Amino acid sequence: MVVMYDSLTGQSKRFANKISDRIEDVNRYIPDPNDEVLLVTRTFRFGEIPEPTKRFLERFAKQVIAVCVSGNRNWGASYGIAGDKIQTIYGIPLIHKFEASGFDTDVNVVRKWINNYQNNKGEL
Ligand SMILES: Cc1cc2nc3c(=O)[nH]c(=O)nc-3n(C[C@H](O)[C@H](O)[C@H](O)COP(=O)(O)O)c2cc1C
């Protein structure tokens, strides 16, 4: 599994680093159809999906098994809403929203999800 991140100010990248030792930038992905991708992205401009994430999903949505999204609760109703949009538009499950680069609790939730996914894969 590869964790692909889209990060403007570095928070999503920091989170990606905390959950995996294999991370890559969505802008620099060298396609490999065998990769299973966990996407870590961010919310921009009143709840929009950032352009680099859109471009990545247009090509590789089929390989994305889940998405996590960074945001800031100060944005109220649009907190992390890019993740909800990705779930609706692309049918990719949103597993977690976190603020900035995430606290330990956020990291633990996502690590557990990854472990669970990897342990159950053979039985699906
Ligand atoms: C112009 C701008 C618009 C933003 N809009 C939202 C938003 O609508 N909802 C939200 O939850 N966070 C919003 N944020 C906060 C970012 O999603 C948050 O800071 C995130 O951690 C940035 O990730 P990055 O450092 O990986 O780029 C916005 C930030 C900026 C600079």
How many Å apart are CA 118 and CA 56, to the nearest integer?
23
CA of 122 to the centre of ligand 1 (A): 37
How many Å apart are CA 25 and CA 5, to the nearest integer?
5
pTM to 2 decimals?
A: 0.97
Q: What is the pLDDT of residues 29-59, one digit of tens each?
A: 999 999 999 999 999 999 999 999 999 999 9
Number of domains in the chain: 1
In a domain, 48, yes or no: yes
CATH number of the domain enclosing 76: 3.40.50.360
Nearest atom, ligand 1, residue 101 CA: 21
Single out the residue of 44, 108, 107 nearest to residue 80, CA to CA.
44
**Tokens 């890559």 map to which residue?**
24
Tally of CA atoms within 13 A in the half-sphere of 69 that contains its CB: 27
Range of the domain at 17: 2-119
In a domain, 124, yes or no: no
- Residue to substitute in 42, 86, 96 for testing ligand 1 pocket (most ligand atoms within 8 angstroms of CB): 42
How does DSSP classify residue 55? H
| Residue 122 pLDDT level (bands cut at 50, 70, 90) | low
Atom 27 of ligand 1, residue of closest alpha carbon: 8
In a domain, 114, yes or no: yes
In a domain, 60, yes or no: yes
